[in-house]
Amino acid sequence: MPSPPLVPGQYAIDVTYLRRMTLGDAALEREVLEMFKDQTSVLIGQLAGMPTNSSELAHTLKGSARAIGAFDLGEAASALEKVLLNNSGYAAAFQRLKLAVDETFEAIGAVLDEHN
């Protein structure tokens, strides 16, 4: 299932999608974004060591990213998941994932700043 495209010039998060998923509740949005950041930091740390369950970790990250509207990050996690299944190209896919995480975290910071 393809992910919705990001609108050019927007955050690495589809904010309209995020707000729809959080029912326009700013407190819930903040909580979801903070939980996502915490979970993603843990998952990236685990993936860096390339454990035997890396494919499952990438799959978890893919679903979590898509759930908050971080579709580029979801695609990067999906690409890593595919690489892990094929046993080749891990370093490049992981670097792409880390870049997408950085961009998403920057967007989360901007969204959270809007609430202050």
Examine residue 67 and state whether it is found in any structural domain, yes or no: yes
As a whole number of angstroms, the distance between CA 112 and CA 116 comes to 7
Cα 108 to Cα 31, 87, 111, distances in angstroms? 11, 32, 5
Counting beta carbons within 10 angstroms of the beta carbon of residue 52, is it exposed (0 to 12), middle (13 to 18) or buried (19 or more)?
exposed
Tokens of 33: 């974004």
Percent of the chain residues topping a pLDDT of 70: 91
| pTM, to two decimals | 0.87
pLDDT for residue 57: 97
Question: Could you tell me the CATH number of the domain that includes residue 68?
Answer: 1.20.120.160
pLDDT, tens digit, 9 for 90 and up, residues 25-55: 999 999 999 999 999 999 999 999 999 999 9
Structural domain for 99, as ranges:
15-114
Backbone angles phi, psi at 33, to 5 degrees: -65, -40
Q: How many residues are listed for the chain in this entry?
A: 116
pLDDT for residue 88: 85
- The domain total for the chain is 1
Examine residue 60 and state whether it is found in any structural domain, yes or no: yes
Residues of the chain with pLDDT under 50: 1-9
